[in-house]
């Protein structure tokens, strides 16, 4: 939601931007467990996540 609000404040069309939530709250069938352990013993395995480049070039600002 923070990214959506930032883009809207920069002039992007709010009707073309969707908040799909975040990875941390996802609990679907394709969930990837990246955290093992708790507290000071917690280890995060971010290499397990398949990152994608977000291409915003197809969006147009409202004043364009």
Residue 43 confidence (pLDDT)? 92
Q: Taking Cα atoms as reference points, which of 43, 20, 63, 62 lies closest to residue 34?
A: 43
Residue 3 confidence (pLDDT)? 81
Name the 3-class secondary structure at 40. Answer: helix
The single-letter DSSP state of residue 37 is S
Burial class for 9, CB neighbours closer than 10 Å (0-12, 13-18, 19+): exposed
Contact of 11 with 63, CB cutoff 8 Å: yes
pLDDT at position 64 over 60 = no
Residue 23 confidence (pLDDT)? 64
d(CA 64, CA 62): 6
Domain spans of the chain, in order of start: 24-51
Give residue-wise pLDDT tens across range 5-42: 888 888 888 888 877 666 666 677 777 778 889 999 99
């Amino acid at each position: 939601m923070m990214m959506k609000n930032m883009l809207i404040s920069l002039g992007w069309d709010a009707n073309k931007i969707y908040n799909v939530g975040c990875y941390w709250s996802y609990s679907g069938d394709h969930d990837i467990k990246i955290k093992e352990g708790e507290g000071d013993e917690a280890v995060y395995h971010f290499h397990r996540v398949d990152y994608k480049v977000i291409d915003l070039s197809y969006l147009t600002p409202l004043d364009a």
